[in-house]
Amino acid sequence: MNLTIALFGIAREIVGQSQLQLALPTGTSVQQLLRQLQEQYPGLTQLSSLAVARNNEYAQGEELLQERDEIALIPPVSGG
Amino acid sequence: MLIELTDLPIDVAAVLQAMQADGAGAVNTFIGTVRNQSTGRRVMRLHYEAYDAMALHQLRRVAEQAQERWPMLQKVAVVHRKGTLAIGDIAVVVAVATPHRAESFAACQFIIDTLKQVVPIWKKEEYEDGTVWVAAHP
């Protein structure tokens, strides 16, 4: 399945682009996606936290990703 | 419920206007502004970035949670800036209208505290000699 991952803030700067296109096996979990991205972009492992958003909600590690999901990496938030 | 992200200066008077409710005896407002220093470093300006769709969704949820906790809440508004802000600029306005003051303070504080924890908005501080994404690293 093909996934587009939106990147914001420091995650966008670490990866060097605002979107990533990934081809992943069907049934890839949130945790597996995170691990793959952290291996590919080690700067991501230095962050205080790194969450995955799926369709505008924070996703749990065991959730399985679907091709039509809207996925984003959420580095530590600092609004307000 | 007034929930907004904006690239333009926040119109505080308009937010207060939206708090008008006949059953409200208290309007509580939190205004977050850009400070000129952070952990001893002089801040020149701030850059705010948001994941708009999720930020709006999460802001609505925070406002709904406040309404569940304080069912007497009559009106609620959260407006957050994006883009580049100068020292003294308003970054966020939270306002609530309630029958009495105690729940207005509590609901307003709950909303800004929860916003800071869950809403996908990021700020980068710009100093004379560099920039830092706030809270990014331990």
Residue B4, pLDDT score: 98
pLDDT band of A35, cuts 50, 70, 90: very high
Q: Do B49 and A75 touch (CB under 8 A)?
A: no
Of A8, A13, A80, the CB nearest to B115: A80
Q: Are A44 and A37 a contacting pair, CB within 8 Å?
A: yes
Contacts of A35 (CB under 8 A, 6+ apart): none
Q: What does pLDDT average to over chain B? A: 97
Percentage of residues in chain B with pLDDT exceeding 70? 100
pLDDT band of A74, cuts 50, 70, 90: very high
Per-residue pLDDT tens over the stretch B16-46: 999 999 999 999 999 999 999 998 999 999 9
Domain locations in chain A? 2-74
What is the assigned CATH class of domain A2-74?
A: alpha beta
Cα separation, B24 vs B48, whole angstroms: 33
Cα separation, B124 vs A10, whole angstroms: 9
Mean pLDDT in residue range B79-104:
98
Q: What is B2-126's CATH number?
A: 3.90.1170.40
Nearest-CA distance B15 → chain A (Å): 16
What was the ipTM of the complex prediction? 0.96
Of A8, A46, A48, the CB nearest to B122: A8
**Are β-strands B90-98 and B83-86 bridged in parallel, bridged antiparallel, or unpaired?**
unpaired
Tokens 């906790």 found at: B69
